[in-house]
């Protein structure tokens, strides 16, 4: 544990902020952008091929977020660590904040983790990531700027053997109006199957950005889930960034 602490100076900042001065009323968040795990964790005991799977990150989501940030002139907050270390879109008190199992894969490096190790990941990754977003939202609020939060994610076409029929899902809690508007526009633009609150629903125990950064501040907040095979290539990523820019402008 002490070796982990001393290695922290070599760790990257947990958040990359793009276009902080962007003029859009939209603020983009991409929590699951990266599959990066510092060497000291030895891949959490997983073979390299597992660390490029969806369990470690949202494939394609970062590139879509970066391109969308440019299209919209919107600030964008990008997570720089794998969700297997700590999930930036779950409260740290959630039982799956640091998963011992993801889909059907055990994560040996997360077994029987002590309070000290949990706290370390919270302090070095989760807390500073959320604080950067909170500071930005505080500033906007002081300036009286209108703000909508859009989080960008991707999902696997098949989960635990079950085929998922949607091309994208738009997830919302209180932001029913904005959610429906994005679904309608995206359906019109893409002619694809865009679902409401699929393949997940927003819940306070398993979500963070939408309830905390959005609803607790009284801001509209919607989470976009894109089927990951549609944004696995640069072509698909740029196409979906254009689709979303159309739906959000
Ligand atoms: Zn995600």
Q: What tens digit of pLDDT does each residue of 121-178 get?
A: 999 999 999 999 999 999 999 999 999 999 999 999 988 888 899 999 999 999 999 9
Q: What is the DSSP string of 9-36?
A: GGSPPSEEEE-TT---SEEEEETT----
Cβ atoms of residues 145 and 192 within 8 Å: no
Residue 8 CA to ligand 1 centre (angstroms): 25
Q: How far apart are CA 236 and CA 145, in angstroms?
A: 32
Per-residue model confidence (pLDDT) at position 12: 87
Residue 145 CA to ligand 1 centre (angstroms): 27
Residue 31 CA to ligand 1 centre (angstroms): 7
Token pair, residue 188, equals 């019109």
Q: What tens digit of pLDDT does each residue of 73-85 get?
A: 999 999 999 999 9
Q: To 10 degrees, what angle do helices 234-248 and 176-190 make?
A: 130
Per-residue model confidence (pLDDT) at position 1: 44
- CA–CA distances in Å: residue 81 to residues 78, 99, 129, 137, 174: 9, 14, 10, 22, 29
Residue 32 CA to ligand 1 centre (angstroms): 5
pLDDT band at 8 (very low <50, low <70, confident <90, very high): low
Q: How far apart are CA 180 and CA 178, in angstroms?
A: 6
Cβ atoms of residues 30 and 201 within 8 Å: no
Residue 143 CA to ligand 1 centre (angstroms): 30
Residue 2 CA to ligand 1 centre (angstroms): 31
**Which residues contact residue 246 at a Cβ distance below 8 angstroms, ignoring those fewer than 6 apart?**
185, 189
Q: What tens digit of pLDDT does each residue of 188-242 get?
A: 999 999 999 999 999 999 999 999 999 999 999 999 999 999 999 999 999 999 9
CATH second-level architecture of 2-248? 3-Layer(aba) Sandwich (3.40)
Residue 153 CA to ligand 1 centre (angstroms): 4
Report which DSSP code applies to 89.
Answer: T
Residue 117 CA to ligand 1 centre (angstroms): 23
Number of alpha carbons in the 13 Å side-chain half-sphere of residue 14: 24
Per-residue model confidence (pLDDT) at position 160: 84
Per-residue model confidence (pLDDT) at position 80: 97
For residue 153, the SS3 value is strand
Buried b (16+ CB within 10 A) or exposed e, 150-175: bbbbbbbeeeeeeebebbbbbbbbbb
Per-residue model confidence (pLDDT) at position 3: 47
Residue 89 CA to ligand 1 centre (angstroms): 8
Q: If we measure between CA atoms, which residue out of 234, 218, 183 comes closest to residue 64?
A: 234
Q: How far apart are CA 4 and CA 219, in angstroms?
A: 38
Cβ atoms of residues 94 and 62 within 8 Å: no
Residue 46 CA to ligand 1 centre (angstroms): 20
Judged against a pLDDT cut of 70, whether residue 55 lies above it is answered with yes
Residue 43 CA to ligand 1 centre (angstroms): 19
- Name the pTM for this structure: 0.95
Residue 195 CA to ligand 1 centre (angstroms): 16
pLDDT band at 24 (very low <50, low <70, confident <90, very high): very high
């Amino acid at each position: 544990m002490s070796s982990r602490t001393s290695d922290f100076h070599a760790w990257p900042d947990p958040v990359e902020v793009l276009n902080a001065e962007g003029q859009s009323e939209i603020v983009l968040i991409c929590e699951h952008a990266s599959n990066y795990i510092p060497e000291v964790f030895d891949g959490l005991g997983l073979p390299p091929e597992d660390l490029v799977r969806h369990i470690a990150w949202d494939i394609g989501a970062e590139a879509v977020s970066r391109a969308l940030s440019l299209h919209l002139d919107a600030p964008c907050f990008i997570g720089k660590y794998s969700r297997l270390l700590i999930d930036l879109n779950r409260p740290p008190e959630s039982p799956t904040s640091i998963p011992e199992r993801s889909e059907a894969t055990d994560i040996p490096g997360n077994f029987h983790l002590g309070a000290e190790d949990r706290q370390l990941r919270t302090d070095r990754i989760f807390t500073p990531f959320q604080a950067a977003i909170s500071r930005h939202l505080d500033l906007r609020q002081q300036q009286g700027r209108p703000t909508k939060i859009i989080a960008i994610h991707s999902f696997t076409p098949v989960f635990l053997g079950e085929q998922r029929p949607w091309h994208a899902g738009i997830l919302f809690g209180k932001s029913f109006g904005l959610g429906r508007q994005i679904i309608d526009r995206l359906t019109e633009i893409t002619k694809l199957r865009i679902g409401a609150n699929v393949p997940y629903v927003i819940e306070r125990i398993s979500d963070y950005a939408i309830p905390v950064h959005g609803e607790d501040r009284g801001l509209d907040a919607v989470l976009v889930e894109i089927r990951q095979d549609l944004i696995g290539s640069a072509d698909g990523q740029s196409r979906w960034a254009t689709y979303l820019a159309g739906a959000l402008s």
